[in-house]
Amino acid sequence: MSLKAGIVGLPNVGKSTLFNAITKQNILAANYPFATIDPNVGVVNVNDERMNVLDSMYMPERLIMASYEFTDIAGLVKGASKGEGLGNKFLSHIREVDAIVEVVRCFDDSNIIHVEGDCNPVRDVEIINLELSISDLEIINNRLDKVYKKAMTTKDKDSLAEVTALKKAQEALEKGIPLRLVNFPKEELLKIKSFQFLTMKPIIYMANIKEDDLGNPDNNYVLALKDYAKKENSKVIKMCAKVESELSELSVDEKKEMLSMLGIEKSGLDELIKATYEILGLKTYFTVGSDEVRAWTFKDGMNARECAGIIHTDFEKGFIKAEVISYQDLIEAGSETKVKEAGKLRIEGKDYIMQDGDICHFRFNK
């Protein structure tokens, strides 16, 4: 399963520069609003040191990393949900993403135009979040217009349950509460899942800072943003889009050297991916061999049979069992052969709950 995130933010906050950096694609980035007028999609590999170790151990013909897909949306502005600017046109493009990355400018620069006149991260975030809420409300209101009368007339159980869930969502949004903070029972979630509400999705705030602020204590803008994010249990990741752009052009060794000079351990992209995995409850298992070493992303709590289905539906349908080695056991033993000699290769059934770092070989009926 490929992890998908939508990048949103006001114009000129560094969205396109960030997108260029992490995907190494040359999309339009200019110092004026609405430079990005088409949804751009790019895929970046998930940096996992374990893959490098497995690559050295198995020396496969192919090394396939887990992937992270980014969709860059045109800069939103106040009133986007009502047709202002170009943003409303593209909100539909992020309804199917797993998480939203909201880029927020956290530095002053008189040479870079701010669409609202000055730098104010909390105000900027509230503008974007309001537009996402209004977009969700529009869907809710339209659906209620269609289903409410039927539910009240027929007393159909499913229709009544849907109306209850939609009304609950409507009331929350009208109070300024994003749907991800609303406690929906499982049955209500099932009724509204198909609408892909934007405010239901986990959000990570990407604080775009100046290079001089990297490795230093948070500036006042970042502190204000973190205070806001804490109230809704969201994460804030600091990143300098300009530096990320420079890092994307370097070799692995050069990148490590530059990060060391900047006084930081990981790039902003790596921090973002780590944070996204955490909030979505994602983990990684591996398949290995001389032909291919590959990382697979799965949701915490999935069993062996479900994880086999990530590779192919036939694996899930015909599942027999899984041969499992933990990554740590493999590293400590030094080879797959020694793991087997130590009796640490496990045969697991369909209900086995997959663990992060498991190395698997699935047996199935064709």
Average pLDDT over residues 280-290: 95
* Highest-pLDDT range among 1-15, 188-202, 254-268: 188-202
Provide the pLDDT for residue 26.
45
Q: Give the three-state DSSP class for 306.
A: helix
Average pLDDT over residues 202-206: 95
Q: Find how far residue 118's CA is from the centre of its chain.
A: 29
Asked whether the predicted pLDDT for residue 290 surpasses 80, the reply is yes
Provide the pLDDT for residue 168.
96
Q: Cβ distance 207 to 221 under 8 Å?
A: yes
Average pLDDT over residues 274-284: 93
The greatest distance separating any two alpha carbons of the chain, rounded to the nearest whole angstrom, comes to 69
Average pLDDT over residues 325-330: 97
Least confident of 211-220, 247-256, 329-338: 247-256
Give the C-alpha separation, 320 to 3, whole Å: 28
Provide the pLDDT for residue 89.
55
Least confident of 7-16, 71-80, 191-200: 71-80
**Would you give the end-to-end CA distance of the chain in angstroms?**
22
Q: What percent of the chain has pLDDT over 70?
A: 91
Average pLDDT over residues 40-55: 89
**Which of the pair, 33 or 11, is modelled with greater confidence?**
11
233, exposed or middle or buried, with CB in 10 Å at 0-12, 13-18, 19+?
exposed
Asked whether the predicted pLDDT for residue 92 surpasses 90, the reply is no
Q: How is residue 196 written in tokens?
A: 């892909």
Q: Is the dihedral of CA 136, 138, 139, 141 positive or negative?
A: positive
| Measured CA angle at 332 (ends 330, 335), to 5 deg | 45
Q: Give the three-state DSSP class for 352.
A: coil
Helical (H) or strand (E) element with 283: strand 282-287
Q: What is the dihedral of CA 139, 142, 143, 147, to 10 degrees?
A: 170
Average pLDDT over residues 103-130: 88
Q: What is the mean pLDDT of the chain?
A: 88
**DSSP character string of 18-72:** HHHHHH-------SSTT---S-EEEEEE---HHHHHHHHHH--SEEE--EEEEEE
User: Can you list the alpha helix ranges (DSSP code H) found in the chain?
Assistant: 15-23, 49-58, 121-154, 157-174, 186-192, 220-231, 241-247, 252-262, 268-280, 304-311, 313-317, 327-333, 336-341
**Which of the pair, 88 or 243, is modelled with greater confidence?**
243
Average pLDDT over residues 323-327: 97
Please report how many Cα atoms fall inside a 13 Å half-sphere around the Cα of residue 190, on the Cβ side.
6
Task: Label residue 90 by pLDDT band (50, 70, 90).
Answer: low
Q: How is residue 13 written in tokens?
A: 């906050």
Task: Label residue 62 by pLDDT band (50, 70, 90).
Answer: very high
Give the C-alpha separation, 37 to 11, whole Å: 11
**Which of the pair, 113 or 155, is modelled with greater confidence?**
155
Task: Label residue 334 by pLDDT band (50, 70, 90).
Answer: very high
